[in-house]
Amino acid sequence: MQDRGCRMRLDLTREQKIADRYLRSYMMVPDRIGSHLSALERGVIMRDSTAATAKVLGRGRGGGDKISAALAVIDEAEEGILREAKRFGSEFAEVEDFISRVQRRDRLSGKALRMAYIDGMSADGIADSGKLGCSRKTVYELIRRGLDISFDLLSET
């Protein structure tokens, strides 16, 4: 399993934590989509259960309100999923663009951030991959420096 978002075994400054939270922002969207998917499943179960009961009891026996409620839950969940999917796309693109700005200031630090926050690699995984040609300690330093640059860029906006 990938270590999403570079869980580092090092102390971060307050400023680095702010930058880290910003870079992780898009990672919360799948959790929100998951809660909408759970609601969708509940709505489908409610609908199917009510429809089965209505079929057994006969058509005119009061299941309409329950089916309407189930359909409302399904519709709301579907709208939530679409809304969160759009949000994910825009937040991901924003973070990716932001990391590109960091990379223009410091190529290696930006590349380390991209591998950590976009590719989902841990700092140890980045070092082990050999893509930066750096030791673990240097990768941690690059990520810290990238977070410092990120905070500076956030402060400018």
Output the tens digit of pLDDT for each of the chain's 157 residues.
344 444 555 678 888 888 888 888 777 777 777 787 887 888 888 777 776 666 655 555 555 677 778 888 888 888 888 888 888 888 888 889 999 999 999 999 999 999 999 888 998 999 999 999 999 999 999 999 999 999 999 888 7
Residue 51 CA to residue 66 CA, distance in Å, equals 9
Entry pTM: 0.65
Residue 49 CA to residue 157 CA, distance in Å, equals 52
Burial of 23 (0-12, 13-18, 19+ CB in 10 A): buried
Cβ–Cβ < 8 Å for 153, 102: yes
pLDDT of residue 60: 54
Q: Vertex 139, ends 134 and 145: CA angle to 5°?
A: 130
Cβ–Cβ < 8 Å for 24, 8: no
